[in-house]
Amino acid sequence: MKNRKGVSLIWVIIALVFVSIMTMSISTIAQSNILQAKRQDDTLQAYYIARSGAELTYEALITSSPSLIIPFTSSSNSGNTYKLTDNITIGSGTADILVTSYNVTDPVKRIRIQSIGKLNNVSKTIFLEFDATSYGDIRWTY
């Protein structure tokens, strides 16, 4: 019996070490999952900020008076790029907008709006293209 006095203490210490290791593992996994979910949320919000920036630019181009499309549709301006503005604030993020015109064929011109949505060090870029004369044939590229 005298040899078994310290056995209980050893088992308690082993159990505490095991519980501590399990607790640390679970908390590390939980923290990693929270960070991943936050990054996914920021990426999704950056996408919608970029999309909103492109849609706002499209609407401004086709509805403004005088028309903002005129510089893009003149024959001498094919391929010109205009940076409309830096850091349009949309919600809690920003969008940078670039507008470019190009010829598909000689009479047919298209306009490409590049919108870069930014939120918490995450950025998402999307493109909206449309026919410069009819404002139709809208194509989104992600």
**pLDDT, tens only, 26-67:** 999 999 999 999 999 999 999 999 999 999 999 988 888 877
pLDDT at 83 (0 to 100): 66
Phi, psi dihedral angles at 61 (to 5 degrees): -65, -40
**Range with the poorest average pLDDT among 20-24, 25-29, 73-77, 124-128:** 73-77
pLDDT at 32 (0 to 100): 97
pLDDT at 3 (0 to 100): 65
**Range with the poorest average pLDDT among 24-33, 60-69, 74-83, 123-132:** 74-83
CA atoms within 13 A on the CB side of 25: 6
Look at the alpha carbons of 61, 63, 67, 72 in this order and tell me if their dihedral is positive or negative: positive
DSSP 8-state code for residue 98: E
Contact call for residues 86 and 98 (beta carbons, < 8 A): no
Asked whether the predicted pLDDT for residue 92 surpasses 80, the reply is: yes
Read off the tokens for 123: 């950025």
**Interior/surface letters 117-137, b for 16+ CB within 10 angstroms, e for the rest:** bbbeebbbbbbbbbebeeeee
pLDDT at 22 (0 to 100): 97
User: Strands, E, within 36-136: which ranges?
Assistant: 81-90, 93-103, 109-119, 122-131
